Amino acid sequence: MKSNIWTIVRKEFARFFGDKAMVFTTILMPGLLIYLIYSVMGENIGNKNKMDADHPATVYVENMPESVAPLFDSLPLHVVTSGFDFNTLYVDSLKDKECNLICVNFPKDFDLMVKAYDPKSGLPAPNVRIYYNSLSANSKIAFEAVRTLLDGWESSFCNRFNVNAQIPGSEESFDVATSDDVLGDILSQLIPMLLLTLMFSGCMAVAPASIAGEKERGTIATLLVTPMSRHELAIGKILSLSTFALLSGLSSFLGIILSLPKLTQADESVNLGVKLSYGMGDYVMLLVVLLSTVLVMISIISIISAYAKSVKAAGTMVMPLMIVIMFVGLIPMFGGGTATFSTLYMIPFYNSVQCMSGVFAYEPSLSHVIITVASNLCYTALAVYVLARMFNSERMMFDK
C-alpha cells in the first residue's frame, strides 16, 4: 500500500517539477511579483506622505508678524513674505492640484491684537487663515506642518488666536479643492483598475477556449487546411474575440457610468452631493481607449493561448499578465497624478490607465489619447504578425 502511495507521489512530483513553466508560475512567480508590487507600492505611498526635499513647498505669508517670523525660519519650507499678490496666487496657482504652495494670511497688527485679546470678553480671537489644496501632496503636507507649528505656539498664549476658525454663518473653505475635484480624484484612482480588471476577465473568458481549446480538441487543424492565409486567420480570431471581450467590458462600463449619478447623490455630510460634469467628448475618448486596450489585451492572451498546450495551461500562463495589469491599474492610487511625458503613453496598459485617469480627473488630453490609441494599434498589428507566424508552425500547433 505504501509503495503504491509513494509511486503516485513520485509520479506527480516528476510531472510538476518537470514542467518549468508550471514551477515558475506556481512557486516562484507569486512570491516574486508580490515582493516587487508591495515594494513599489510601499515606496510610492511613503513618498506621498513626505515633502520633496529637492522641491520643497513655498509658503506665501501675508502680513508676517515679527513674533512669528523666527518660527517659520525653522520649517524646511521656502517662505516668501513680500513681492507677490495674494489674490493672484489663490486664484491662479493654488487651485491647480499640482501646485507646490500654501497661502497664509495673518491679520494686520497681529501681535497687538494677540496682546490685547481677552479670552473672557466673548469676542472672537484673531484668526490666521491657511489656504491649501488637499489634492496636492506638497501643499497638504506644508499645510499640516504650518498648522502644527502655529497650534503649538498658540497653546503658549492661552488660545489668544485661532487657526482656520470657521466664522458662524460663513461658508469660507480653506481647502480650495472643490467637491467636483475630490470626487474626480477618487474616480480617477478607482475606476481605471476596475475597468482593466473587468476587460481582462472578458478576454480570459473567450481567448483561451478559442485558441488553446481548439488545439486541445484538435479542431485547429481544420482551420489551418482551409484556403486562407495565416494572417487572415489571426486577424479574424483577434477581431472576433475582441468584440466579445469589448461587449463584456462595455456592459461593466455602462453599469459603472450609470451608477455614478446615484453615488454622487449620497449624503451631503460626506461631501459627495455633487453632479458629474463629464461631457460626451470624455465618454468618446474613454470608449476609444477601451477599444484599443481590449485589442492589445486579447492579442497578448491569444499569443499565450497559441503557445499553451491546453486551456488549463493557458490560464496558468496568463496569470503573470493578470497580475501586471492589476498592478498597472493601481498606479493612480499611489502615483503623482497623470503622466506628462508623451513617450510614456506608448507603454501598453500604462498609457490606457493614464488616459482614463486623466478623463475622470477632469484633465483629458486629446493628444495623449491619440498617442495611446495609435501605439495600441501598432502593438496589435505586431501581435497579429506574431500569431500568424505561430499558426504557420506545425510544431507549435500540433505539439501535445
Tell me if 292 sits within 8 A of 352, measured CB to CB.
yes
Distance, in Å, from the CA atom of 335 to the CA atom of 245, rounded to the nearest integer, reads: 28
pLDDT value at 263 more than 70: no
Determine the average pLDDT of the residues in 268-282: 61
- Of 31-35, 43-47, 166-170, 201-205, the least confident: 43-47
Written as nine digits, the cell of 331 is 498606479
Task: Identify the DSSP state of 132.
Answer: B
Determine the average pLDDT of the residues in 47-57: 63
Distance, in Å, from the CA atom of 284 to the CA atom of 286, rounded to the nearest integer, reads: 5
H or E element that contains 105: strand 101-105
pLDDT value at 126 more than 50: yes
Q: Which backbone phi and psi does 26 adopt, to 5 degrees? A: -90, -40
Give long-range contacts, CB 8 A cutoff, 24+ apart: 168-174.
174/129, 174/130, 174/131, 174/132
Residues of the chain with pLDDT > 70, as a percent, come to: 73
pLDDT value at 91 more than 90: no
For residue range 97-106, list pLDDT tens digits in order.
Answer: 667 888 888 8
pLDDT value at 370 more than 90: yes
pLDDT grade, residue 358 (50/70/90)? confident
User: What DSSP line would sit under 69-80, residue for residue?
Assistant: HHHHHTSSSEEE
Distance, in Å, from the CA atom of 3 to the CA atom of 34, rounded to the nearest integer, reads: 39
At residue 392, the pLDDT reads 76
Determine the average pLDDT of the residues in 361-375: 90
For residue range 293-345, list pLDDT tens digits in order.
Answer: 988 998 899 888 888 877 888 888 888 888 888 888 888 876 655 666 778 89
Q: What is the mean pLDDT of the chain?
A: 77
Give long-range contacts, CB 8 A cutoff, 24+ apart: 309-314.
309/212, 309/215, 309/216, 309/399, 309/400, 310/212, 310/215, 310/216, 311/208, 311/209, 311/212, 311/213, 311/216, 313/21, 313/212, 314/207, 314/208, 314/211, 314/212
Distance, in Å, from the CA atom of 207 to the CA atom of 383, rounded to the nearest integer, reads: 14
pLDDT grade, residue 267 (50/70/90)? very low
pLDDT value at 273 more than 90: no
pLDDT grade, residue 374 (50/70/90)? very high
At residue 271, the pLDDT reads 44
Tell me if 96 sits within 8 A of 129, measured CB to CB.
no
